[in-house]
Structure 1
């Protein structure tokens, strides 16, 4: 009887850990209250300094807040990012706010392709790790493989960054403020947390009958 109870407790612990890990994904509003803009305060280092305040993990989401038609977001290879070149972009997001999910560990590079915006400092690079206890991975090759690209939530992106069509769609309300101080992990998905606790409660009640 004791062995069966111990085995059931072990199963409960494993399930609990798995459920809790699903609550760790965070939303990060790029640039905090400044949003995604050209000539940001602080110049070319603004977005690099903003990113240095956070540890980005797989499945976290970058939220680029901008007015559609005034800016856009493209994911770039490292050489294109460094040279503000926009040939063969990996992904393009023309509708703001753009939600970009970081689907794999490694280096990700973003910028605005509008004329002069990249050179003014509207560019961002982030390092993504598998979890907070893992060291940052080595930098990826200069040509990023297609399967490693980020994914977008919401409207399908236009295939061309230079021919974005203005729209009257207003940006949706911001969901989380990430000006400088990083938010506590686990706070970005309250619905998932509630569901996890509900499942855990059911399991505990079930196992207590043995």
Structure 2
């Protein structure tokens, strides 16, 4: 009987879904995105929502392209103004604005997961 109770307790705990968090980023010039990312505890399964106007986009890039503000080999690009990215596994993800000059002016963020 005790084993059945423990098994039921385990199943009840396992059935509770993990609550993923969402983090909003107002994607624009003049923001310290390094500071933004440094105080977050982002976990796998969390999402980031980039909110931005028509002159901007969101490009996911490699660490090398992030450092160089290069958008020639993007992993993904979005320009819908409300881009939701699911951060599904551990590791750092790199995002830049691909509009000429914007990344060089600080419109980039490295998000550790």
TM over 0.5: yes
Q: Which residue of 1 aligns with 2:42?
A: 56
Name the SS for the 1:17 alignment partner. Answer: helix
Alignment RMSD, CA only? 1.3
> 2:12 maps to what in 1?
16
Tell me, in whole angstroms, the C-alpha distance in 2 between the residues paired with 1:66 and 1:15. 42
Tell me, in whole angstroms, the C-alpha distance in 1 between the residues paired with 2:6 and 2:105: 55
Greater gyration radius: 1
What is the aligned partner in structure 1 of residue 80 from structure 2? 95
1:86 corresponds in structure 2 to 71
For the residues of structure 2 that align with 1:19 and 1:53, how far apart are their CA atoms? 30
Deviations 1:85-131 (A, max 9, x none): 01110011111210000111111000100011101111000111xxx
**Comparing both structures, which one devotes a greater share of its residues to helix?**
1
Q: 2:6 aligns to what SS in structure 1?
A: helix
Alpha-carbon deviations, 1:156-207, whole Å to 9, x = none? xxxxxxxxxxxxxxxxxxxxxxxxxxxxxxxxxxxxxxxxxxxxxxxxxxxx
Q: Deviations over 1:18-60 (max 9, x none)?
A: 233x232100002xxxx110222xxxxx111111111111110
Q: TM-score of the superposition, structure 1-length normalised?
A: 0.51
Give the TM-score normalised by structure 2: 0.92
Distance 1:122 1:16 in 2: 44
2:102 aligns to what SS in structure 1? Answer: coil
Please identify runs of 4+ aligned residues in structure 1 that moved more than 4 A.
none
Report if aligned partners of 1:75, 1:91 keep a CA contact under 8 Å in 2.
yes
Number of aligned residue pairs: give it. Answer: 113
Contact 1:73/1:113, CA 8 A, preserved across alignment: yes
> Counterpart of 1:36?
27
